[in-house]
Structure 1
């Protein structure tokens, strides 16, 4: 332990020497710093005094250069506020706020001159126009009353027309019903004619079959006659033994002749009937075509009458709407007449107000003088 203390002793001595040296050097530095502070303080006092003096001089000069133009601008603004717009334009030198304000005041005066001039002209125009409007409103009021009277007469006529159109619509509906009934009757007649045509065709067909059967009978009678003739010849050859057979053959031949004659007459009757049936079929066919045309025409008539009924109903609705519109128009016309009278009163009032406005605007003086205001900003 003692050896360690001996080893650190030189170091302790060296640190003690360093500490003593620092204490001695710090005292000298502190003295020098205090001297420097006193010197700087004295210099600052001198500089502050010079700055204050300079600021006072500059402030006086700046105030002098600002107050004079400000007084000029203030006087210009006061006269303009009093209604004198005839001042010569301000002339400002410089580019600061005061110069800008001067330019703004000059532009304001020019704008006010234009506005007041326009107001004077407008007041005169309004006065003239309001007088004309008042006169026109009186004429319009008279014409509106005449229009209202005409509308009332028109409304009365439209009511009468509405009644006539309703009656026409009712008649058209009845005609539509009758046409529908006629159409059904015509269709039934057409069906009956069709049945007749079919029946005539069947009769014609049956007659032709009968004619064919008669032809067969006629052929049989012809062949029977030939056979009877042959039998008579054979009976003549037989002599007395064939006499009875000859009588029978003669009767058969006579019967065949009568059958042929009857068949011929029946055939003629059948042919005549067939001819008449064909003619009747032709007539019935024409009647069927005519009934079809009648049905088609009745359908067209019903459609036309239906359209007429619809049109009459629409006309009735339209006339009702027109009556309502005319009533509304009459009411609006009466209201317009009242508004026209109010407009005439308003026009008279406007004319009086325009006169008062012209008197108020006449207090402004607009002509420029010959003097000039110059604001020199330095």
Structure 2
């Protein structure tokens, strides 16, 4: 995992987040689909069936009253008018029965309805015989049939209708329970999936942050120590990702700086020693200046490579920042999906409220039927003995209307309970939407952090470029110093001062071999005799010290040819002395 690139880690983490969002949305849509199916079954099958059965019951009661009216009339015009009403009522009943037949959904319901239809056919046959007697003004015989066999068949039909109502109410109750179970499952599923998604997102974020910030912290620590002049830090590179590449580059930079500082220290000591021996150390100074220029060229090349590496890291950081922004956009789209789920829950809530309104209408119809039955009972009471049968019918109608009202109230209470649960589900989905908003905010914070990392990498690249320019300028200065060696007499004091400043500047850096090293002391030991060298012994000692600090590849020139003259004055070295030291070849190559 440590060798994965930062872009790969970010892509994997955000892909995992997107998959979790998709899983949450799919689970929510599946549960909502089940709840919708149960609600549709209640609203389009069971409740319309109850409504139509109640309408059939009311219509049969009306036909019963028409028959009773028919057998109580003796006037031909009234009988004809009643026949017309009877035909219209039967046609309406046929239409209601066709409506119900389209709503039958189970074999049991079909069987029960067929039994009702068979019984009702018998009832119609018996009533037709009574009506024929009524048309012949044989009302007593007709009444006997209506109050006997016809009444029994009518009561049986009512029982069948009551069973149909109960069967449809039971079906609605089962559908409601199924919807409730689906709701509970949906709530549990969404909570579990949301908790898992949050836990995985937090774990991925912690892992991602640690895998990026820990190596960067190590890199910053090393850079701070290098900036403070400490080049003894040990850099461990245990990964091959961008941060590992950065640490590796810092390791190479530190090694290059160690080599460079070591070379600069040695060369600066050589320059200080050579400046004290103006006459005898001119060739030696030329050779050391050549070495210094070569080392600075290598440093410039190393800094150029480092600058390329840092620029590459900056480009990778910008790429990672872009990926983080894309992931933030995907997370925002996930929040929009949750918002659509909230709107769907609101639609289900509205449908449940409409169902409750339909139940209220059914309750109102039952109430009006009860009022009509009460009025019919009053009219029957006024009719006296002749209205007794009519009063019995009105009482039955009132009883049926009362039962219908009670059933409608129960269904309404159940629907209201379902509405409350749907509202609770809406609240839970709203909370899920809020949680998704928080996740989007967290991802945007990560995007901001990656932007800061990209900006820091760009600044680091600019800093490395400036260091490269500085090293290039140092190289140019060294070239100029080599040219100024020819001005030996006039530039001796200035060269000595510059050498001292260079030694003090390099002394800021701490190397592993610095336990017994003191740059200030060494420079003081060489600068003193260089300032005033009337005799040859101090100059000779300085030359030996310079030779000790010289790299192994450079052969120290013999100082005998450059000792001070007996008169106490230093003079320029002769060509023979230069040839003995082997410095001419080095000067030519420089």
Shorter chain as denominator, the TM-score bin is 0.3 to 0.5
State the TM-score, normalized to the length of structure 2: 0.32
Higher-RCO chain (CA-CA 8 Å, sequence separation at least 6):
1
Q: Flag the structure with larger Rg.
A: 1
Normalised to the residue count of structure 1, the TM-score between the two structures is 0.46
